[in-house]
Chain A
Amino acid sequence: MSTDVWRKAWVLVGKDLALEWRTRESFLVMLLFGAIVGAILGLAFELRAGGAGEVAPGALWVALAFAGVLGLGRSMAREEEDGCLEGLMLAPVDASCVYLAKVAANALSMLGVGLVLLPLFSAFFGVNLLRPGLLVVLLLGAAGLSGVGTLLSTMVAHMRGREALLPVLLLPTVVPLVIGAVRATAGMASGQSLSAVATWLRLMAVFDLVLGAAACLLYAWVTEG
């Protein structure tokens, strides 16, 4: 039974990734948007503070969170077209299985964007963000953003003004995740090891697990007709 769930979820993830690979529409938009946020923040802080290096971890996570909101919105808008989500719900899979698949697909695209933004932000802000430990931070951050974001974006998908509602609901909720991510990133940028920032990684993991489990349980209620 449980291996069956994973297999089905994997098929759904494959569907999303194949769709994204063929069109590349949301990945490129997310990437460009993340780069724009980085450029704007870099300019703003460079002009005011003289040294942009200290704000680099914060800027990175602001850019990733905003790009994530954009990606989540587009991914659900795609499911809304031609009743794709209804089709998914009629398929013989649990809502939680659809949820897990959407979370994985959304998190993977956020992770991809993060991987490209790391060298870019290193250059923009004059810091070294190219450290292997940051992969763990990116992974935990993408999982948390996608875990809550997938639930909320599915919910607002057929509402008026969904583009505005998603960030207004999602961003305050992910404040603890962003705090953890910024602290862990800042620690690693200054050369600390993974164990030195373990507190923040644990915080992110707790966020991912608690809110992910809640969102998984609640997903059936937001997809009901």
Chain B
Amino acid sequence: MTCRDRKPEALIGLSALAMELAIVAALVHAPTERVMGPVQRIFYFHVPAAAMAFVAFGVTFGASVAYLAAGHPVWDAVACAAAEIGELLAALVLLTGMLWAHAAWNTWWTWDPRLTTMLVLWLIYAGYLLIRRSVEDEARRARYAAVVGIIGFADVPIVVMSIRWWRTIHPAVFDEQGVHMESRMLVALLVSLVAFAFLFVSLLVARVRLSELRDEVESLRRSVL
């Protein structure tokens, strides 16, 4: 089971194209929001990044379960790749969220339920990546990482639930912006969502391929020495 011959270039090209479209849709096609002005356009990148971050952590969970069940190293590579991409996307979500919050709420950080949830998830998966760096033995690393990947994802709904309750019991200082969206805004959001999905898949494939090539180099080195 190798991705060696399936080169990810075509996928990467497709995601680049989709990303161009998303940029045009977000910056040109979508109208300027009446109250917040141009800064609202960050929304078209912020929301898809958040959605794909959740997908990525879900993929890490699924691949971790598959690794423990089947023991094939490709599942470990998939889990690792998805966690790395998820971390990256979650960091993007936090940064774009902070930029937007500074413009809209006049503060860089607020303990808003969604910001807080994303921060906690980012910290949980930072731990996942740290575990991967702390174990030398490959089989053991894969097993431990899978355990953390499963525990981390089992925690996700509870984290979301707890933070939501924690905030709604107290009066919310900031209201969320309205969900009534103009159709052109919705189009921009959907295009961007598709672009981020392509980006996620192509990064995933490229990263898994990198892992496999690395393993191959390692086994070649062993056979020579």
Contacts and interface: CB of A to CB of B under 8 A. Distances in A.
A176 B159 contact: yes
Interface string B128-162: 00110011000000011011101110110011011
A120 interface: no
A68 interface: no
A203 B68 contact: no
A179 B152 CA distance: 17
Nearest to A217: B150
Interface stretch (A14-22, A80-88, A157-165): A157-165
A176 B147 contact: no
Contacts of A214: 150-151, 154
Interface in A186-225: 199-200, 203, 206-207, 210-211, 214-215, 218, 221-222, 224
* Max chain A C-beta neighbours (<10 A), residue from B120, B135, B158, B165: B158
Interface stretch (A29-37, A104-112, A122-130, A167-175): A167-175
B212 to A, nearest CB: 23
Contact of A173 (B155, B166, B169): B155
B162 A180 contact: yes
B163 A179 contact: yes
A173 B124 CA distance: 6
Interface in B104-141: 120, 123-124, 126-127, 130-131, 134-135
Contact of A183 (B123, B127, B158, B166): B166
Contact of B143 (A156, A199, A210, A222): A222
A179 B162 CA distance: 7
Contacts, number: 85
Nearest to B130: A168
Tell me if A's interface is mostly helix, strand, loop or mixed. Answer: helix
Interface string B47-63: 00000000000000000
A95 to B, nearest CB: 12
A177 B71 CA distance: 32
Contacts of A165: 127, 130-131, 134
B56 to A, nearest CB: 17
Contact of A221 (B127, B146, B155): B146
A174 to B, nearest CB: 9
Contact of A206 (B123, B146, B150, B158): B158
Interface string A141-158: 000000010011001100
Nearest to B162: A176
A169 B151 CA distance: 10
A207 B158 contact: yes
A213 B135 CA distance: 25
A211 B123 contact: no
Interface in B13-44: none
Contacts of B143: 221-222, 224
Contact of A175 (B131, B159, B165, B169): B159
Contact of B154 (A175, A211, A224): A211
Nearest to A167: B127
B151 A175 contact: no
B124 A172 contact: yes
B152 A159 contact: no
A176 B160 CA distance: 8
A121 B159 CA distance: 27
B145 to A, nearest CB: 10
B147 A203 contact: no
Contact of B165 (A172, A203, A207, A221): A203
B162 A203 contact: yes
22 contacts: A155-B147, A155-B148, A159-B134, A159-B135, A169-B131, A169-B148, A171-B123, A173-B151, A173-B152, A175-B162, A176-B155, A176-B161, A176-B163, A200-B165, A203-B158, A203-B161, A211-B151, A211-B154, A215-B151, A218-B150, A221-B143, A222-B144
Interface of B: 68, 120, 123-124, 126-127, 130-131, 134-135, 143-144, 146-148, 150-152, 154-155, 158-159, 161-163, 165-166, 169
